[in-house]
Structure 1
Amino acid sequence: MIWIVHLLVLSLFGLGLADDCIIDYRSRENSWEQQLQKDLSCNYDTAKSPDGNNTEVEVEFIMKSFSFDSKEETFKVYSWMFISWKDERLKWNESNYDQITESIVSSGSIWSPGLRLLNEVDWEEFDHYYGLCTIRNMGYVYCFPKVVHETICNTRLVNWPFDIQKCTLKFGAWTRRDKIKFAFRPGNAMTIMGAEYGTGWTIINYQQEEHEDEDTQLRLTFFLERQAAGLTAIVVIPTILLSVLTLSLLLLEVRDNIRLGIATFSLLCHFYYLSTINEYIPKHSMDTPSILLYVRGSVLVTMMVLILTSLLSYLQSKKAVPPMWVVSTNNSVLQSHAKFFIVPRWEVDLSGIVISDDVERNKVEVWNDFANIINSVCCILFVVVYVIFISMHMPRSVTMNRISFANQSSSFQDLY
């Protein structure tokens, strides 16, 4: 019984000394860092900016990827944002804290500038929380949050499928009462380095602007070029082939129904082509793609060729006495240098006419020559019309200054 009493006494004595026997596994540096953060947070007001209305904040972005939805007209950028400023309240003498020159703190425990995307699609209430930040003994603060910025980007489709879209990110202070001066770090405001290739789009250039006295202090404008190699094969090349088919009809004979049949086939191909490219043309834009205007014009020319074919076939079958203006027109053209432009020249169809009957033969030849002249004039006219259509409505690749992002480097790399 006595040994039980002794055991209880020793246990109570051990519990009394337990607090003095706790093993501290913290390293010496961590202990000093905890003390440093405790001293810095003492009497620190997170709602008050370091320099009142003169706080200067530098910003830089490193793009990871981007996406552009032409149907919804939204442009989204995934990037790392490097943001830095100086806070005199976060200075310390490193000799007082075991030579510690930097520490990591949460952005929620210190004052942090509210940088906001002003033209954002969905407004986020906690958008200015930057996670963990690095502070240095001279008072400099560096934060490296991963951010996603999404904005509305109105599309312009006049030159589709070789269109270039212009999308702008507008940044400013979180509220108007925050008198903070935002600026890009010297050099490139956006480091891309291989992230310029997105799904169906390529960033070929960007511009950076700073406006100190406006609500929108920072602007990043991106120029996106559609990757049009596939659409060129599907949309542009068939358009050219249909135009060639329509013009080649003017070289065919009109007596039989081959030209009339091919003209009808060409017209049907135009309508089928329109129904096919309807699946590829973006529809959320106030602009009409110029290629649709070109196809509309080509449809009208094909219909005119169809009507012309019927008219020429009728003229060649006429055996009535031609009026004098037809005869004089033939003589004026065929007896001048203009006769070299009469291509093709169809032979006279003398079937059903007595060879010795010069009068009937002469009437048929006059109508045949007149049909040749009309066909040649229309051929030249339609070629000129297609040249005008191509110069006005055919989409083409736009020449624009392109930036090579391969050799870009972030100025923040010099800090770490």
Structure 2
Amino acid sequence: MASFPVVFNKCSLLLFILSGGSFELVRADDFKCPALTPTTTERRLRARYFSQDTLNRAVHRDNNTVDVKLRLVLRKFDFNEEEDKLEIHSWFAIHWKDCRSAWDPSAFDNIREIRLPSYFFWKPDIGDFSSADMAKTFPLFRWFMCILYSDGSIMCMPPYNHVVTCSADLTRWPYDTHTCTMTTGSWTHTAREMNISLMEPAIVVNSRSLNREWKLASMKSYKNISKYDCCPNDTFSWVSFEFMLQRHPGGYSSTVVMPAVVLVLLTLLTFWMDPTEMDRLILATVDVVSHILFLQHLGHLLPANGDQTPLIIIFYRDSMILAAMALFASALIPDLRKSSMNLPLWASGLSSWVLQNRFGYIFVLRTLDQKSVGAVSETPRGGDGADSPGPSWPLFTSLLDFLCFVVTLLSYVTLLLGYIP
């Protein structure tokens, strides 16, 4: 009984087809394809290349030189500073002349160009000398479509994905620039056998948005002829495409650089607060913790593959040391102000020298409270600091606080001068 629905469905479909159904069958004889096939002349022209030599160079004699011209049409690029790789997405225009492939247009209905796959004729063995992926050293060995002209000229523009080894220099991150060089040339032929040169222009940008994180600051190309130890009697020609990349620092300027400026101001501000207030100690502690958190953030943000430490990390590290010094001063100075011991001789001499100096005396009046100022005023300016009354400790701690401020300020100025290019 379970097979009854299946038998019924098959019988219903058969009756529906025999009865004419609700659709109409179209005979194959009634359908005609448009005449899109190539002409007989073009077929005859293409047939000339089916058995052409694809291994030997495109010359009539062995001592002749094949001139190959190159052009890079840049579409997009991606730079990975963690892996030190620049990936270039482009088209690679290659032009050379093969006199064996020329024909007389008048003998072929005035046809002056045809399209053929590259495996029908010889093509240059262009290799990547700067490739980071050895599996892509010969990207032009696969087949691609080319235009063959009646004078024997051949123009090919295959898609080209090149991965260049480029060492990242993060010293001035996030305002860093990197120079990457892509080098190509013949893998086996000498300069006498294959002369490689550049078209004009050699690099063409064919996209408005190359990369959102990096800006192509400059690009140039040049040709070189060199010798190698393996073949001292031969010369080899190759071309290089050089790209200078500059990072867009907008986002990092707001999230990394501006917080550094704020932390600098917080560190300097702690020295101008009353050392007896607990607010100063709290602010100095928050300042040190903030430095530590930002250093941890930069450690996760930047790759640890460089032989030079980025200046922004050095700045945060040294700023953290200065902030720790400010925290130490904020914790030590209140205890020194309450000390009942006599000042050491060197501290007493420094206090006396400040009191004898007019600018130092004005500084004392501006930094000490009224009670301490009155006690200092009663002390003879030329007297011995060791016999001075209690306010000598507040005077010395104020001088010490001011000295720490000056040292911190000069240290920050030095760090900023080293960071600015």
TM-score (norm 1): 0.79
The corresponding residue for 1:36 is 45
Amino acid paired to 1:213: S
Q: In 2 relative to 1, CA 57–360 (structure 1 residues): closer, same or farther, beyond 3 Å? A: closer
Select between 239-248 and 113-122 the one with higher mean Cα deviation.
113-122
Q: Please show how residues 17-416 of structure 1 align to structure 2 within 5 Å.
A: 30-39=39-48, 44-51=52-59, 52=62, 54-120=65-131, 121-124=133-136, 127-176=140-189, 179-187=193-201, 189-195=202-208, 197-213=210-226, 215=236, 217-323=238-344, 325-339=346-360, 345-347=367-369, 363-392=389-418, 394=419
The corresponding residue for 1:16 is none
Q: Do the aligned partners of 2:281 and 2:330 also contact (CA within 8 Å) in 1?
A: yes
Q: In 2 relative to 1, CA 309–94 (structure 1 residues): closer, same or farther, beyond 3 Å? A: same
TM-fit CA distance, 1:184? 0.9
Identical amino acids, percent of aligned pairs: 22
Q: Residue by residue, what CA displacement relative to the aligned partner does 1:336-387 show, whole Å, maximum 9, x if unpaired?
A: 254256696121667xx9xx99999951222222222221122111100111
Q: Do the aligned partners of 1:344 and 1:376 also contact (CA within 8 Å) in 2?
A: no
TM-fit CA distance, 1:142? 0.7
Q: Do the aligned partners of 1:348 and 1:364 also contact (CA within 8 Å) in 2?
A: no
Q: In 2 relative to 1, CA 206–50 (structure 1 residues): closer, same or farther, beyond 3 Å? A: same
User: Equivalents in 2 of 1:239, 1:199: separation in Å?
Assistant: 25
Q: Do the aligned partners of 1:343 and 1:376 also contact (CA within 8 Å) in 2?
A: no
Q: Do the aligned partners of 1:93 and 1:137 also contact (CA within 8 Å) in 2?
A: yes
Q: Secondary structure at the match of 2:271?
A: helix
Q: Do the aligned partners of 2:203 and 2:220 also contact (CA within 8 Å) in 1?
A: no
Q: Which runs of 5+ in 2 are unaligned?
A: 1-33, 228-235
TM-fit CA distance, 1:312? 2.1
Q: In 2 relative to 1, CA 65–48 (structure 1 residues): closer, same or farther, beyond 3 Å? A: same
TM-score (norm 2): 0.78
Q: Secondary structure at the match of 1:127?
A: helix
Q: Do the aligned partners of 1:208 and 1:221 also contact (CA within 8 Å) in 2?
A: yes
Q: Residue by residue, what CA displacement relative to the aligned partner does 1:299-339 show, whole Å, maximum 9, x if unpaired?
A: 11112122222332233112334355444322322332542
Amino acid paired to 2:369: E
Q: Residue by residue, what CA displacement relative to the aligned partner does 1:250-270 show, whole Å, maximum 9, x if unpaired?
A: 001112322222212211111
Select between 288-297 and 123-132 the one with higher mean Cα deviation.
123-132
Q: Residue by residue, what CA displacement relative to the aligned partner does 1:48-68 show, whole Å, maximum 9, x if unpaired?
A: 112345111011121111111
Higher relative contact order (CA 8 A, sep 6+): 1
User: Equivalents in 2 of 1:250, 1:146: separation in Å?
Assistant: 63
User: Equivalents in 2 of 1:157, 1:25: separation in Å?
Assistant: 62
TM-fit CA distance, 1:87? 1.2
TM-fit CA distance, 1:70? 2.0
Q: Do the aligned partners of 1:161 and 1:226 also contact (CA within 8 Å) in 2?
A: yes
Q: Which runs of 5+ in 1 are unaligned?
A: 1-23, 399-416
User: Equivalents in 2 of 1:202, 1:148: separation in Å?
Assistant: 19
Kindly report structure 1 stretches of 4+ aligned residues shifted beyond 6 Å.
356-361
User: Equivalents in 2 of 1:88, 1:342: separation in Å?
Assistant: 95
User: Equivalents in 1 of 2:216, 2:357: separation in Å?
Assistant: 58
Amino acid paired to 1:56: D
Q: Considering only aligned residues, what root-mean-square deviation do their CA atoms show, in Å?
A: 3.0
Amino acid paired to 1:286: D
Amino acid paired to 1:184: L
Amino acid paired to 2:89: Y
Q: In 2 relative to 1, CA 136–342 (structure 1 residues): closer, same or farther, beyond 3 Å? A: farther
Q: How many residues align?
A: 366
